A and B are shown apart, each in its own frame.
Chain A
């Protein structure tokens, strides 16, 4: 709305009396002003402009996760490999955020339908995956991933026995 207003102001600035603004609209167009041409122009420009902006904005959104990577790397570096409450919280954030974002992909890109939508989605997806991988790498370096056989030791069943014995020193 404001855009249209400002457009009007810029295109035609002969409004001398603001009080009579409502009346002025009912007045016939001044000479040299073609309302239809203006309308068609604003219509077209608005359409393409907002589209471009939207696309630009969406690309921003899509590239957001990738832009976070350096920041995440820095956080990871700062957090260190010790297992204590703050590093764990950070790693948790690192994992949870991209996963949440992935689930919210549909809603994020809901309003877009266009040629670049799939590309954006793909980039967005890749960015989040990269973040998850980074977080997993962090978990790995912190030793939080159950990748060793020792991590599954507690679930291994104990052996059973076949033979039974008894005896000891002679009682005689």
Chain B
């Protein structure tokens, strides 16, 4: 199994050598299987899927049905049922991501009832056990402008809709929950005191109204037939001088109408009267909920204490006495801004309080806590919103590192001046190896199950760590083989709108740790925020969390590493000053160029970075206005440069007549996709290839009556992008291929420089119909770019489809030259067997990330979105790996049988000879 990959690594000759060495038998069997898809028994072997629901908006315990569940409705417009014991998703409905899918209400009676959308609203009932839709009716409000202020709740099997008109009145309508029948007409209740600071604590509508210093607290039960307005001066509850008008409903599913005033006092409406609770809010940031326990309702508060960490306290509503069982403080639990989403408490048979409290953190995590503070399960819902991901190599094991350093020329020269030192070192290493061997034999399989020791590079380089940056500012390190979270780091201040991720030092430089940097913005100031981590352990290293005092325009990574093998970051700030991180790497800046594209004006500015002896300066060198003049109204939809450190194995392509068409591989080429209005053709999409070092436009093409989609691909000499053809009403994919021609422009191995470009490359272009709606696109990436390139398309239907580049080829069907390519067809066939995620449908795929594995044939793929899906693909089949179902036993038995047969025949033959001789 390993043989092939070793021999394959050096070059193509290596493959030939290994073919010679290997049994033809094996090669034959490995080539015979040409199918793309996997077998049934391989399901889940190379891939995993994790389903998420997003940040929880509403939740309620379903204690009615036999299988205990929590029903949640989320900010991502997902309705789901979570298993109470494990936290896994039992069923899930993903609604539209736009406002039409917004969930306004979640109510659990014997059914799960949701109100979703925004005028028209959809009221739906779901079976709580299976999630099957049971009824649905829609509701359109006449008053569309005010509709956003609608409030919904369920009372006595009636759906109550309340629409306040501020400063005037409240409209209340009640509908039959299952049928939508209106009980009577809309009731209009006069309420001049209604304003936008009002809150609903069903069935009361509560407001603070009145001139400054003389505010009144109003509350009205909007569902009762008799209008009874409760009003009290606010000064009875809070001192008005420090009051800032903060009226807040309680968290959780309130069992009695209550609210907090000024984040300090809790007021309950009881018997049509306001009642100030004896318990105050402990901390202004605390989450307050009222939970019914056996002895009557209690006020449950959670907050983060500076000294004690996560804290929780419960006090009885009526007496104010503390419930000791629910008091918790846990310094270990990292749960920023905890919020009680819902809670349920019962008394067990032995008169003990059994509580289940669902907590949501500011980092979108969900935890189910029981009384006493034990966490039953946690879900990291932040992963439903991944904004950036990177595959990071694992470090080699200590022993391998020792061997590597021994044979490293420079190191060796430094350390072992004499031959004896080297010899003793060799003996030592040998001894170490022996020790590990003995140790591993002794401990057997136990060693492999131990996760910390397993975090070393494997033989094929398939094991990596995926670093994921989520929208909420939480950074995760994930094991790519199992999908388990290895570490997490929450940075509340990180604004991840345009977050960038750089691996500045790989783990292959043993004394130094791997180094990964996240460049984002500060939540409040918008200034640059740089977080440096060790991606293996998740601990902060180097600059740690660095807050810049200026906004960043763009960031680049320096191609040359410094003495510590660290690649410096080049930060270009708003005033076009350059900072180098670390500063000591400034002299390494040479032949470095940067470009900054403005999305809305389609202006691209090029800079040359020059080191003047002390600092690095950014010199404006070129300016390109894409899409014509500045007032043409073009905007950039997507930008794609080549992946950093991309290798191009073959400088040309072999044609059918065995001549070579040389590729135009410009490492500085960037593809810009813009769209803008056109007086004649409504919208035009323009794709422009710009040399980012010189600013030269290398190729361009336009599509009329089309709208651009933000999916562009750029690798080697291939470029592709997707757009919506408005005329034909379909999605299309356009491809560009750049070629130098039959002759190479410069000699083999010569340096390519953008600044001396005298010739324009030839462009082969075609567009194909894509019979699906794309959601993301990526190309496969392999270690040495020897294998074919395939395009991966995530579709809105939840599939990831692998399309060979040959089907997108610009030269397809081009007579003699295209003879080696598939027959021309206007439509790309999306074969069901090319679907990477077989029947594991992904909800809302958003982005695809690919990374090379250590094996040349294999590329690792991660799809993010509401779900996470990881798999690996082999575009040219696994030519360097034996098939998964390779029969080791059969071949061993055959070999053994042959050996036995050889020796036995030899013995028999000699006996026969002896007999013959005696005759």
Contact = CB atoms under 8 A, between A and B. Distances in A.
A115 interface: no
B750 interface: yes
Interface stretch (A21-29, A32-40, A104-112, A149-157): A149-157
B554 A154 contact: no
Contacts of A153: 650-652, 654, 660
Interface string A132-145: 00000000000100
Contacts of B658: 143, 148, 150-151
A170 B591 contact: no
Nearest to A149: B660
A157 B593 CA distance: 25
A158 interface: yes
A172 B636 CA distance: 14
A171 B746 CA distance: 37
Contacts of A148: 658-660
Interface in A91-119: none
A171 B573 CA distance: 10
B684 interface: no
Interface in B543-561: 551-559
Contact of A164 (B593, B636, B651): B593
B667 interface: yes
A165 B749 contact: no
Contact of A169 (B498, B591, B748): B498
B521 A171 contact: yes
A168 interface: yes
A166 interface: yes
Contacts of B753: 161-163
A161 B750 CA distance: 8
Given A166-B557, A168-B554, A159 B651 contact: yes
B591 A166 contact: no
A150 B597 contact: no
A164 B596 contact: no
A94 B660 CA distance: 30
A159 B752 contact: yes
Most buried by B among A158, A162, A166: A166
B592 interface: yes
Given A150-B660, A170-B553, A165 B692 contact: yes
Contact of B553 (A154, A157, A172): A172
A142 to B, nearest CB: 12
B647 A158 contact: yes
B641 interface: yes
Interface in B496-514: 498, 500
Contact of A163 (B591, B607, B748): B591
Given A154-B12, A167-B556, A167-B595, A172 B574 contact: yes
Given A162-B751, A162-B752, A167 B654 contact: no
A161 B751 CA distance: 5
A165 B748 contact: no
Interface string B552-582: 1111111100000000001010100000000
A163 B754 contact: yes
A169 B600 CA distance: 10
A164 B591 CA distance: 6
B649 interface: yes
A150 B659 contact: yes
A160 interface: yes
B552 A171 contact: yes
Given A159-B665, A171-B553, A172-B574, A165 B594 contact: yes
A164 B667 CA distance: 8
Nearest to A148: B658
Contacts of A161: 667-668, 751-753
B715 to A, nearest CB: 15
Contact of B591 (A150, A162, A172): A162
Interface string B642-656: 000001111110110
Contacts of B748: 156-157
A165 B595 contact: yes
Interface string B589-617: 00111111111000000010000000000
A121 B570 CA distance: 76
Contacts of B596: 167-170
Contact of B650 (A154, A164, A165): A154
Question: How many interface residues does chain B have, given as a range?
Answer: 35 or more
B693 interface: yes
A162 B553 CA distance: 25
B598 A156 contact: no
B572 to A, nearest CB: 8
A168 B556 CA distance: 9
Contacts of B12: 154
Most buried by A among B636, B667, B744, B746: B667
A158 B651 contact: yes
Interface in A14-68: none
A154 B692 CA distance: 29
A168 B597 contact: yes
B627 to A, nearest CB: 15
Most buried by B among A156, A158, A168: A168
Contacts of A162: 591, 751-755
B287 to A, nearest CB: 34
Contacts of B755: 162-163
A49 B12 CA distance: 61
B693 A165 contact: yes
B639 interface: yes
B659 A149 contact: yes
A124 B464 CA distance: 65
Nearest to B13: A154
B666 to A, nearest CB: 9
B751 A167 contact: no
B749 A172 contact: no
A56 B766 CA distance: 71
Given A153-B654, A158-B648, A169 B660 contact: no
Contacts of A160: 749-752
A158 B591 CA distance: 20
Given A165-B593, A165-B693, A172-B574, A158 B749 contact: yes
Given A150-B660, A158-B648, A158-B651, A170 B749 contact: no
A148 B661 CA distance: 12
Contacts of A154: 11-12, 650
A159 B750 contact: yes
Contacts of B595: 165, 167-168
B654 A163 contact: no
A131 to B, nearest CB: 26
6 contacts: A156-B749, A159-B750, A163-B667, A165-B592, A165-B594, A171-B551
Closest 5 pairs (CB-CB, A-B): A166-B556, A157-B749, A167-B595, A150-B654, A163-B693
Given A167-B596, A172-B553, 9 more contacts: A163-B668, A164-B591, A165-B556, A165-B593, A169-B636, A170-B598, A170-B599, A171-B498, A171-B551
